[in-house]
Each structure stands twice: as C-alpha cells, then as structure tokens.
Chains A and B, each alone.
Chain A
C-alpha cells in the first residue's frame, strides 16, 4: 500500500501569511494527488484534484503543485476562514490513503 506523509503536523500561523504544506508518497503516484480542507465538526471539502487543479468554487489563494512523490499545497495569503485541517490523499490505486493531516492554528 502507498503511504502518505504530511508535514508539518501542525502550524501556528497568522492572517496574511503564506503557508505551504508538504505531502510525500511512498512511491511514484504521478499527479494522482488530492487536497482536502476540514473544519471542526464538519465534513471535508475538496480543494485541489490531480495535484494542481482547483476545484470549482475554491478561492484562487489555494494552489497545488508537484508530481511523482513530492507535493505541496500553498495558501498565498491566509484568511481567517482558512484555519482548519488539511489532508492529502492519493488516487493512484486502492487503498487511496490519506495523509495524517496538517492543522493550521492561529498564532
């Protein structure tokens, strides 16, 4: 099975900061990588699919990049509503595992 490792696990940040979250897969997954946002008590929300494609309705401050085994999610200027947890997930094969998550906290 493919393992997904995110870093950092948590991050203290401020409104307006540029934030980068990293996701690494245990083997080459090309661009089969998705990113999700989850707020406490809510279902996850799809942000990015196929490594760099913005899901409809997602603000343009979110962007994704990478291919192979190394991927990043970038938030260009953090907004108050962006304080949440973020998960990567590969869709290369089954099981389509998630990373362990990255929690953005207010500094």
Chain B
C-alpha cells in the first residue's frame, strides 16, 4: 500500500527553524516527484514546494522561497523540508504528497500531473 508519513512538526518560536521529514513506502519513491502542501487552521490548501524525482529541479511558492528548502534522499525513501526564519504565517498542517504523471496531451506540451497520494500531515505552530 502506498503510504507517506510526515514527522517533525511541533511548536517553534518565531524566527527559528524546523525540519520536516516524510517517509515513503509501498511504491518506488525515486520514480516520483514530490510536493509539500500546507493548510493553515481553518483555511484552504496552499502549495509550498515540489522536487523532481531525481532532485534535479525544485520550485517554491513565493511565500516560502528563500526560507524553505525541499530535498530528498532516494536511497532512504525520504523527503525533507527545511524551514528557516519561521513566522506566524507558517503555522499550518504540512502535507507530503506524491506527484503522479497522467500522460501527455494529444497535441503535445507539458504532461498532465496531479497529486495522488497524501500523507496524514504534521502540524507546525509558530508561536512565542
């Protein structure tokens, strides 16, 4: 069974750092791109970052670029999110999620992708 399990959440003071981890099982981790998505209390989903299957490309949302770093270790089937300079706006449940390739459009172009496997989430609270 394909599973993702996040860890590392907790309460952290503003300006401090925290590192989240995600352990993957039940699928070939090194064949998939991976995302972090977060959800602030009572709010909607916010995409945070993505990393290519081989770690060769990384993209970030404007709100975390320069503060957060996504990384992976395909030998250990793990995905990480290093979060620095945390602020109250980073308080959220953080989900690790798998990117699934669904093929190419008939007329060519970028592939169709979606997030098809999600972890249960880990809660991060930034508070003094």
Task: State the A residues within 8 Å of B (CB).
Answer: 1, 30-32, 34, 36, 38, 43-46, 49-50, 53, 55, 85, 87, 89, 91-92, 94-101
Contacts and interface: CB of A to CB of B under 8 A. Distances in A.
Given A43-B119, A101-B44, A94 B109 contact: no
Contacts of B60: 95
Nearest to B113: A91
Interface in B77-128: 95, 100, 102-103, 105, 109-110, 112-116, 118-121
A95 B61 contact: yes
Contacts of A36: 45, 115
B59 A44 contact: no
Given A44-B45, A55-B116, A89-B114, 17 more contacts: A31-B112, A36-B45, A38-B45, A43-B121, A44-B37, A44-B118, A49-B114, A50-B112, A87-B44, A87-B45, A91-B113, A95-B59, A95-B60, A95-B61, A96-B47, A101-B44, A101-B45
Contacts of B121: 43
- Interface footprint category on B: 20 to 34
B50 to A, nearest CB: 6
* Chief secondary structure at chain A's binding surface: loop
Contacts of A94: 50, 59
B105 A46 contact: no
A98 B43 CA distance: 12
Contacts of B109: 30
Question: Which 6 interchain pairs have the tightest Cβ spacing?
Answer: A43-B118, A94-B59, A49-B114, A50-B112, A101-B44, A34-B114
A34 B112 CA distance: 9
8 contacts: A38-B45, A50-B102, A53-B102, A89-B45, A95-B61, A95-B62, A97-B47, A101-B45
